[in-house]
Structure 1
């Protein structure tokens, strides 16, 4: 019944709106890229140590010594070892990239034709030159399947935002709107020209391809960004949970075609997370997931070690045993339901959420991806008040809603902000 009402409401609103611009669809398929051409059933992620020790330079050499142009960012030792490994095991390099935070240089390789990948991985694991060898794995964003048509709205719809209303975000905004907090969104691209996102997205990074047009037409990242930080008080559209927060968007996921959900892989996610580690982003939103992954696990551990607050979407099947939801330091969020949640999982609105869409539009969407975005926004509200909060303190504040008595763990922005203010007063803070 709810979906029928929402569909009817969307039709009425679209009839009252000005004629929308032509849409490229919910998620525009990216042009063929290195990432999209990778095969998770065959390809391997391989890493060697990359200390980048100072090298003796000679006339005509770079500061890294005689490093082939294709390996810019790799030290001579890493280049030599990778060349030896490729020759020894018959590997073909697809792409390579340095991970400064881990002191590694990684490459994605294709095994030789007919080779058994599992056996090859075992041999590589025994090779003393290899620091990491693992399958290339696929990941996906957590949202309902895309609709075939989208309805565009031009008027303010704050009262239609279930998440904004149910978390009492407007009350929280009397104290905090997330000002000064930097949130990194690792996702698809996002519509940086959207009227409700202009000025909120400070920078973008593309770990998939160089297709700027596809970046702007990507739906999932646009939806997540709108929930977190859509502009408030601009007489149009919606209001984000943390409308004064600063966003950075890292495209690590792409749409294989317009009728499929977005996908990511170990390569694109590792590039994005490594880039986040080089920034001051305090909150990292990961509305995606998939199998456990050694390389991604290392990067996640480093983010947590640096006291970043990582918010992840719980898989639709509830199996929190993969990346990024299997780490105890990650705040895992499910879409609110009437059933009790596990003690370590938060609930937030995730059904029929009105948010931003590409081409300046708005539409309803559902999924734990949207629930995680609500929590990332609330975390930004808290950090704006007390920047040095750790994840344990934030988790405690997020579990203050009275609904936790029934095991639902429903977050509430106003209660969390009020509790933080009270604790600061008791501690003698100004």
Structure 2
């Protein structure tokens, strides 16, 4: 009920970067043996070439104008020589003023010892492990559906989305999803203009019909009123999928790492996406945190899945300003923001439908709700959205109280219930 009240209230109120480069085979090595690699950043003091005046979200997608400077090249060569490192991938991140390199450590070296030495190196601005991350979903029993059945979308109905769609379907809002690949020609996504970016390997992104990304895209934006399947929260939003995670052959689980996620975040910084969905989690990561903070400073909304223990920590859920979402009932309801995340009907590769569980699914639905809000109120920014969703008072309201509160509150300061059920 609170979801329906919240959505009704909210809708009634109605730099540049160069692409990373890696030697052939380096990406596969990093994916298979991440514990043998470190991420190092050094200052890259370059002057930006003249560009058009003014800055806005729509201007972020301009042509890259940065390369590795001579000073950074010399420093990195010295660092590699002193610490016996071999370059595996490198790319400038102009928004942070650094040049990043993924180095492979010597075969007989301890990564902890190498990182400790790098931390004492005055020429190094950042040194960290090549962290691994994973999508935060759990597999559901193998009940599968071949035919559309909207009544099974209990989370969708609990959110009051059918009512909200009378006012907004997410049109005009760009959502960036950083995840695994997805079946973008699924019957419930077929025909949608989805920009695809494979940042893991050289394979065509359109050919990678992976499960987790398909589930997340389906919840956010499955096509409505097409006579089949399910309906997404924001079926008219514009979508970009950044494949930064992949499925391992050994255990069948999806993984990401610091390098692939950094590439995705840099690419999103060069886009006009206003909503970024990160249904994944892992340890604190200094480089990824800096990139995410840059997105937040630009007023974008970043929605992340809360770890299974329900604690707001690690990357990305622990980064201040991120809208961190738990599955309803996760960690005894201790999380500040919850959404349906148990046995949620969504899309599966092969043109199928099935249930999925986890905070990944909860975060995807909240990303859809954020798109509805932005479509109805384009002037809202990330902090205003976060305030509305988390609710400063955090107490339940009746429908009349919510509507009266929303109408009386100044723009960007509306208050909403904090626990979505």
Question: Which range, TM-score by smaller chain?
Answer: 0.7 to 0.9
Shift of 1:161: 0.8
How many residue pairs get aligned? The number is 371
Paired residue for 2:371, among 360, 364, 380?
380
Long gaps (5+) in structure 1? 1-30, 56-71, 407-411
Alignment of 1:277-292 (within 5 A): 277-292=269-284
Alignment of 1:312-327 (within 5 A): 312-327=304-319
Question: Is 1:34 aligned with 2:14?
Answer: no
Q: Structure 1: how far apart are the matches of 2:171 and 2:206?
A: 30
Q: Quickly say closer, same or farther: Cα 1:44–1:346, change in 2 above 3 A.
A: same
Partner of 2:239: 247
Shift of 1:267: 0.6
Partner of 2:20: none
Question: Is 1:125 aligned with 2:110?
Answer: no
Partner of 2:268: 276
Q: Secondary structure at the match of 1:110?
A: strand
Deviations 1:322-371 (A, max 9, x none): 001112201111111287534x6211001111111112221111111000
Q: Structure 2: how far apart are the matches of 1:127 and 1:237?
A: 56
Shift of 1:136: 0.9
Partner of 1:176: 168
* TM-score, normalised by the number of residues in structure 1: 0.78
Q: Secondary structure at the match of 2:372?
A: helix
Partner of 1:151: 144
Partner of 1:109: 103
Give yes or no for contact 1:95–1:109 (8 Å, CA) kept in 2: yes
Question: Is 1:422 aligned with 2:407?
Answer: yes
Query: Which of structure 1's runs of 4+ aligned residues deviate more than 6 A?
Result: 414-421, 424-427
* TM-score, normalised by the number of residues in structure 2: 0.80
Q: Secondary structure at the match of 2:333?
A: coil
Give yes or no for contact 2:139–2:356 (8 Å, CA) kept in 1: no
**Which one is further off, 391-400 or 162-171?**
391-400
Larger radius of gyration: 1
Q: Quickly say closer, same or farther: Cα 1:426–1:37, change in 2 above 3 A.
A: closer
Question: Is 1:74 aligned with 2:68?
Answer: yes
Q: Quickly say closer, same or farther: Cα 1:417–1:200, change in 2 above 3 A.
A: farther
Partner of 2:181: 189
Shift of 1:50: 2.0
Q: Secondary structure at the match of 2:310?
A: coil
Partner of 1:27: none
Question: Is 1:97 aligned with 2:91?
Answer: yes
